[in-house]
């Protein structure tokens, strides 16, 4: 279930109701849950290690994980952009807003 919510959040779909109200398809859950999980993880890291050891571990995670994340984010964006456009063109809705990065 969470993967569906995060996918809808990543797509940036906004649904327009008949009264003109705008709702995010995922209602920002895809942003809030990872932030909570990250805060809990960092708190546990500082609780179980010395402050220098915790900072060293965080720096190691950033240096190890950020470059591949950046590469895959760019590849994902280039892969999804034409598919989002085709999805947008094929949907029969009154109004649909899609943010392409």
Cα 71–chain centre separation: 15
Query: Is 60 or 16 the better-scoring residue by pLDDT?
Result: 60
Cα-Cα end-to-end distance for the chain? 25
pLDDT recorded at residue 88: 75
Using CA atoms, how far apart are residues 69 and 66, in angstroms rounded to an integer?
Answer: 5
pLDDT tens, position by position, 1-38: 567 766 766 776 676 666 766 666 666 666 677 888 88
pLDDT recorded at residue 33: 78
pLDDT tens, position by position, 64-79: 988 988 899 899 889 9
């Amino acid at each position: 279930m969470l993967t569906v919510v995060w996918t809808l959040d990543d797509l940036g779909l906004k649904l327009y109701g008949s009264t003109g109200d705008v709702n995010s398809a995922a209602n920002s859950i895809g942003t809030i849950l990872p932030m909570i999980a990250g805060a809990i993880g960092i708190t546990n890291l500082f609780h179980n290690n010395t402050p220098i050891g915790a900072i060293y571990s965080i720096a190691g995670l950033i240096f190890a994980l950020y470059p591949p994340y950046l590469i895959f984010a760019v590849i994902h964006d280039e892969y999804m952009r034409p598919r989002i456009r085709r999805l947008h063109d094929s949907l029969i809705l009154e109004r649909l807003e899609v943010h392409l990065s």
